[in-house]
A = this chain, B = another copy of it.
Amino acid sequence: MADGKAGGTQSGEALLFLTDEQLRKGIEAMFFAYRGFTADPDRILEKYGYGRAHHRAVHFIARAPGTNVNNLLAILGVTKQSLNRVLRTLIEDGLVESRVGVQDKRERHLYLTETGQSLEAELSEAQRARMRVAYRDAGHEAVAGFRRVLEAMMDPDQAAYFNAMSKTGSKKEE
């Protein structure tokens, strides 16, 4: 049970000796970093009268164009009503297009319009810029470690979505 992917945690060596104080610092680092992480998009969204929920929807639609509502629901982990409220405003404002499915006409496939893509690009670029700077400041190996810890921190099902999205454009059915 203790022999996960960290193959080398033999007790002879350093053994990842972790004080509560070190763990607490990690917790606080997550708190402060997440605030930085969302600060730039939040500023941009405010200009357009949107919130973080809109950002998330736009992000994952950009990531998987043509995805349906149920799929988005599962990724975002919110209720249908919550997502719908956000999605409706995005569609009304002409940022998202909802196309009825061809094979299954119950499904709505979601796409970003030109306007939607441009907002997504603005948000994404701001966030990537911060990430780029952080990565550069921290160095190459730090980035690998960063990603490894974050993945280990996810819930297993969330990690599954995360890894599934690695194959960027793998639209299994089309």
Q: Which residues of A contact B (CB under 8 A)?
A: 4-6, 8-9, 14, 16, 18, 20-21, 23-37, 39, 56, 63, 77, 124, 127-128, 130-155, 158-159, 161-162, 165-166, 168
Contact = CB atoms under 8 A, between A and B. Distances in A.
10 contacts: A4-B136, A6-B138, A20-B128, A27-B128, A27-B131, A30-B150, A35-B77, A36-B154, A134-B150, A142-B145
Contacts of A154: 29, 32-33, 35-36
A10 to B, nearest CB: 12
Given A33-B154, A142-B146, 17 more contacts: A5-B137, A6-B137, A20-B128, A23-B132, A28-B165, A29-B147, A29-B150, A29-B162, A30-B150, A36-B153, A135-B149, A135-B152, A141-B141, A142-B149, A144-B145, A145-B146, A146-B149
Q: Nearest 9 CB-CB pairs, A to B? A: A145-B145, A142-B145, A134-B152, A33-B150, A146-B149, A137-B152, A138-B148, A29-B150, A142-B148
Contacts of A21: 168
Specify the main secondary structure of chain A where it touches its partner.
Answer: helix
Contacts of A14: 140
A119 to B, nearest CB: 16
A162 B23 contact: no
A70 B17 CA distance: 36
A9 to B, nearest CB: 7
B150 A6 contact: no
Contacts of A20: 128
